[in-house]
Amino acid sequence: MIKPVDMTFDLAVRRDGVDTTLASWQQHFDPKPGVDFTATPYELDQPAAAHADVQPGDELIFRYTATNTTSATAWIPNGDGATA
């Protein structure tokens, strides 16, 4: 993080262009002190609605939206985890 940011995370299933939200949650992040831009670990077990009717072509969507910040690049995802 380079600026304080509130994040909204959504987990959804997309079928035929229609998203069904399984879970949604918010988290606030603050930048590390100084000029430390290393990844900030964030792990969460989030309860989600069951979606048993999975069909070929369905897509699992992980959406993240930054809000309440002064920079469009305040939060950049690190998909490499601890190996980055």
Overall number of domains in the chain = 1
- Asked, for residue 32, whether it belongs to a domain, the answer is yes
Domain limits at 16?
5-44+57-83
* Residue 38 in domain: yes
Predicted TM-score (pTM) above 0.85: no
> Are the CB atoms for 22 and 13 separated by under 8 Å?
yes
pLDDT at residue 83, as a whole number: 62
* In-domain check, residue 33: yes
Inside any domain, residue 50? no
Could you give the C-alpha distances from 81 to 38, 46, 75, in angstroms and in order?
11, 18, 15
Short-list 33, 16, 21, CA closest to 65: 21
Contact 83, 12 (CB under 8 A): no
Splitting the chain (84 residues) into consecutive groups of 10 residues, what average pLDDT does each group show?
Answer: 87 94 93 83 86 88 86 73 59
**Arithmetic mean of pLDDT over the chain:** 85
The pLDDT score that the predictor gives to residue 24 is 95
75 burial (CB, 10 Å; 0-12 / 13-18 / 19+) is buried
